[in-house]
Amino acid sequence: MTVIFIGTGAAVGVWVLILGTFVFALLIIAFIFFLFGLQGLLAAYQEQREYNESAEVQPYTTLTNAGVRPALQQRGNIAGRAESAAG
């Protein structure tokens, strides 16, 4: 079974038209999946960005020495205290 185009007079098999339509439909479905995936990726990126910019996390995201205190006790003092607590 063939389809003959009036303008050109070319004959094309029906199976070519069916497969072409099927491939085109799969292309549209793949493009829709791609758009949904891209939307999910952008939403995850936006959520990560909001999380990194929140006030609760901000002090821990920058490399700074604010809030870090040097150790005030010597190692010997810590060991001496452990011995006195045990004895």
Q: Please write the tens of the pLDDT for every residue from 36-62.
A: 999 999 998 888 887 777 655 445 445
Could you give the percent of the chain with pLDDT greater than 70?
61
Nearest to 3 by CA among 25, 21, 16: 16
pTM of the shown model: 0.48
- Give the domain extent around 14: 2-62
Within-domain flag for 72 = no
- Give every CB contact of residue 12 below 8 A, 6+ residues apart in sequence: 2, 3, 5
What is residue 51's predicted lDDT score, i.e. its pLDDT?
75
| In-domain check, residue 22 | yes
Average of per-residue pLDDT values in the chain: 75
On whether residue 80 sits in a domain, the answer given is no
Percentage of the residues of the chain whose pLDDT score is greater than 90: 29
Any domain includes 29: yes
CB 61 within 8 A of CB 51: no
Q: How many domains does the chain have?
A: 1
